[in-house]
């Protein structure tokens, strides 16, 4: 029996990016198709809206600033809602009342790596935001999300109150932007090849398989 191909995939994305929400689901569908490739995934931070303050801003104010008006976003929202629904996901943008700064969300995802629950943490935060319209600037909302993914509530509450990993997350997000990532999600395959956007699962699976095969060929010289 031949040994499986192997590939590492870095996913640069933000928890408040609806196409990242859809793209995560499509990646997971792609991975389910790849029984011949052993894929490891790491979730990398990106700030879709780096200008938003740590305590967030009113959602309507955000839409007015970014899109000109709340009504101007409705057409975009309906397209995203349809795309999400086609993947079995909910995008309830009308429930969102506050646009958050996401550095604390990215800290939680990073901390969850040690527990092996980073994907679950990212999904929980996205579900809270896109399905429930939860306020991701609210500490207790974040603490409960962390508890749902295996954290001790008192410990994570203390860590969130500190500056632990704030600088590191900020630098990682800036490094991605400096490297040319200006649209998310971006999937970096094997540290060399980048795919931008919420690619269909079949295309992602094909690209992963091809890059993994190239890596094997290179290793064999």
> Quick one: pLDDT band at residue 2, thresholds 50, 70, 90?
low
**pLDDT above 90 for 220:** no
**pLDDT above 90 for 3:** no
- Span 22-75, pLDDT tens digits: 999 999 999 999 999 999 999 999 999 999 999 999 999 999 999 999 999 998
**pLDDT above 90 for 113:** yes
> Quick one: pLDDT band at residue 216, thresholds 50, 70, 90?
confident
What pLDDT is recorded for position 217? 84
The pLDDT of 112-127, averaged and rounded, is 97
> Average pLDDT of the chain?
96
Number of residues that make up the chain: 221
- The DSSP symbol for 3 reads P
pTM for the model: 0.96
CATH for 5-220, options being 3.30.413.10, 3.40.30.10, 3.20.20.70, 3.90.940.20: 3.40.30.10
Q: Where are the domains of the chain?
A: 5-220
Six-digit token pair at 44?
């990398």
> Quick one: pLDDT band at residue 218, thresholds 50, 70, 90?
confident
**pLDDT above 80 for 76:** yes
Element (H, E) at 39: strand 37-45
- Distance of alpha carbon 170 from alpha carbon 159, whole angstroms: 16
- Span 131-157, pLDDT tens digits: 999 999 999 999 999 999 999 999 999
Provide the percentage of residues in the chain whose pLDDT is more than 90: 94
Q: Which of 86, 33, 46 is nearest to 194 (CA)?
A: 46
- Distance of alpha carbon 144 from alpha carbon 16, whole angstroms: 18
- Distance of alpha carbon 107 from alpha carbon 45, whole angstroms: 9
């Amino acid at each position: 029996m031949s040994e499986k191909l192997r590939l590492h995939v870095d996913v640069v994305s933000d928890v408040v990016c609806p196409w990242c929400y859809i793209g995560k689901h499509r990646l997971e569908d792609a991975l389910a198709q790849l029984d011949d490739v052993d894929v490891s995934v790491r979730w990398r931070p990106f700030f879709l809206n780096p200008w938003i303050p740590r305590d967030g801003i009113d959602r309507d104010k955000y839409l007015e600033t970014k899109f000109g008006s709340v009504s101007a976003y409705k057409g975009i929202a309906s397209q995203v809602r349809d795309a999400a629904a086609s993947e079995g996901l909910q995008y309830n943008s009308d429930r969102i009342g506050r646009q958050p700064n996401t550095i604390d969300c990215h800290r939680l995802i990073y901390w969850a790596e040690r527990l092996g629950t980073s994907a679950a943490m990212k999904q929980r935060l996205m579900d809270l935001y896109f399905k429930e319209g939860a306020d991701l600037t609210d500490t207790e909302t974040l603490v409960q999300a962390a508890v749902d993914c295996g954290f001790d509530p008192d410990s994570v509450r203390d860590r969130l109150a500190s500056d632990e990993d704030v600088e590191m997350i900020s630098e990682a997000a800036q490094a991605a932007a400096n490297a040319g990532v200006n649209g998310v999600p971006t999937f970096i395959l094997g540290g060399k090849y980048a795919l931008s956007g919420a690619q269909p699962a079949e295309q992602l699976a094909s690209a992963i398989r091809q890059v993994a095969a190239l890596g094997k060929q290179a290793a064999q010289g």
